[in-house]
Amino acid sequence: MSLLEIPITSLADSTSTVILDSISYDIRLQWNGRDESWYVYIGRTNQEFLFKTKVTNGSDFLRKHRSYATCPQGVMLVLDKEKLYGRLSRDSFSSSRFSLLYYTADTVDDLRRLKLIG
């Protein structure tokens, strides 16, 4: 299995450029204080963001967008290192309690076989 931990700054709004499945993507994480949630925007580098979605612990937030040709084909999720279903807060990433992870496309079948994703 190939796993990438995507680095997150302690800012409430940050953008990182990462290589996923040999393609460069911009990933923006933004804290929304009104509903106290993190949102992620993903798109190919130097292009419009393909989608925006709310980040929830333990859910593959690429799943419903994977049919788009420009969407990464792996699994992206947030992992809580302390609790099984902990709630994300403003300081979740800066405290290192939560990690943003990407499993490459070649591992999706392995994850399904292990029943870690649907």
Give domain status of residue 36, yes or no. yes
Give domain status of residue 79, yes or no. yes
Domain that holds residue 51: 3-113
The mean of the pLDDT values for the chain is 86
| For residue 91, pLDDT beyond 90 | no
Give domain status of residue 80, yes or no. yes
Report d(CA 100, CA 111) in Å as an integer.
Answer: 17
| For residue 115, pLDDT beyond 80 | no
pLDDT tens-digit series, residues 31-83: 999 999 999 999 999 999 999 999 988 888 898 898 888 899 888 988 888 87
Give domain status of residue 77, yes or no. yes
Report d(CA 109, CA 105) in Å as an integer.
Answer: 8
State which amino acid sits at residue 28. Answer: R
Give domain status of residue 33, yes or no. yes
Give domain status of residue 65, yes or no. yes
Give domain status of residue 118, yes or no. no
Domain count, the chain: 1
Are residues 50 and 29 in contact, defined by beta-carbon separation less than 8 angstroms?
no
Residues near 110 by beta carbon (within 8 Å), at least 6 away in sequence: 1
Give domain status of residue 69, yes or no. yes
| For residue 1, pLDDT beyond 60 | no
- pTM of the full structure: 0.82
